[in-house]
Amino acid sequence: MNASPCDAVLDAPALSKLRWRCRRGLLENDLFIEQFFARHESGLTVRQAEALGVLMDLSDNDLLDLLLGRKNPEGEQARDEVTQVLGMLRAARRPD
């Protein structure tokens, strides 16, 4: 059984582009994202990167509301892979 291309781990150039795309205007968002990459960058898949891209399409305030749990994902953000990545972002903020 072959793995889906979406389940492949990101290569270094794709990871670099993703990190650049995830830069935000609010420090609070950047702190979540920085911890997320510190914990997960070596195993991020193409599917997770695409889901993270959906979250990065949000405004800074809407993203922060999701990260802090003040809002629940709606619409495109409510897809399974996006909610999984959102959970990873939220968990990255907590100490081990």
| Count, residues in the chain | 96
Each residue of 71-81: pLDDT tens digit? 999 998 999 99
Each residue of 15-67: pLDDT tens digit? 999 999 999 999 999 999 999 999 999 999 999 999 999 999 999 999 999 99
Confidence band (pLDDT; 50, 70, 90) for 3?
Answer: low
User: Alpha-carbon distance 85 to 79, whole Å?
Assistant: 10
- Whether pTM > 0.75 for this model: the answer is yes
> Do the beta carbons of residue 87 and residue 31 sit within 8 Å?
no
